[in-house]
Amino acid sequence: MARPALIVHGGAGPVPETERAERQAAVERAIDIGWTNIADGALAAAVAAVRHMEDEPLLNAGIGACLNGDGVVELDAGVMLGAERRAGGAACLRDVRHPIDLAVAIMRDGRHVLLAADGASRFAREHGVEMCDPAIFITDRKRQELMRGADTVGAVARDADGRLAVAVSTGGINGKLPGRIGDSPIPGAGFYADDRHGAVCGTGLGEAFIRLGLARVMVVEMEHGMDARAVADGAVAYLDRAMRASGGVIVLGREGSPAAAFNTAAMPFAVRE
């Protein structure tokens, strides 16, 4: 039997001092909710934590997420199971209430890994995923227009059977071009899970994570014997060295404690074991 563990983050970036305590509290609420689901498996725990963060208006996912260049919220999400490396991603969503639910539905359907925009919304409606008025995501337009950085929320879990899962959700980059897709819905870029070695989730400049294939690189490093702490620290150093990019990561191996690292002013995160 494995030792269950869960690590959750609320995004790495230039978090204003006035919001740090509130963002940390939001992450603590999310991990409490995720941890209550750990007996149902790693996927249930990770998704529950991220789903809650999609409802936290200070975090850049779901309600309160940053605005694109047209002043609209466009959301991305991704999920992956380490057992069979099954994955699902959804991108450029405007009317799906919980993007992480759609990512799970796409993964379970199994025909594709990533759906975007109108096609993703159509799939959501056909599969009973909750839809909404896009206006629900805008709670404080002035604040959302001024959001800086490239926050993402995410969770990585390991259950008592040793199964690993990762879940991610984001509003992307403030002022982004409509239709821009970052690393968050792309396996191997913003997240990856493999029960044999470990699972990871990133937050930061998505273009840099995509170009480096950073999430997959991190799991390969665990395959080569590096522990979670070394992988987390090394990934952030590599992100800076190779791309001059900011960001953070959370990492969980097939055994041992979770680890987090970031090179930004803040990255609220929490751990349960």
| DSSP-derived 3-state class of residue 91 | strand
Q: Find out whether 53 and 27 touch, Cβ atoms under 8 Å.
A: yes
For residues 218 and 200, what is the distance between their CA atoms, to the nearest angstrom?
7
| Residue 218, token pair as written in the block | 């991190």
Task: Give the side-chain half-sphere CA count within 13 A for 267.
Answer: 27
List the structure tokens of 236: 């952030």
Q: Using an 8 Å Cβ cutoff, are 110 and 134 in contact?
A: no
- In angstroms, how far is CA 142 from the centroid of its own chain? 25
Q: Which amino acid is at 79?
A: V
Among the options 18, 139, 152, 264, which is catalytic? Answer: 152
Closest CA to 132 of 100, 107, 99: 99
Strands 259-262 and 198-204: unpaired
- How far is Cα 144 from Cα 182, in angstroms, rounded to an integer? 18
**Catalytic residue flag (residue 203):** no
For residue 207, report the phi and psi dihedrals to the nearest 5 degrees.
-60, -35
Helix (H) or strand (E) holding 75: strand 75-81
- Which residues does the annotation mark as catalytic? 152
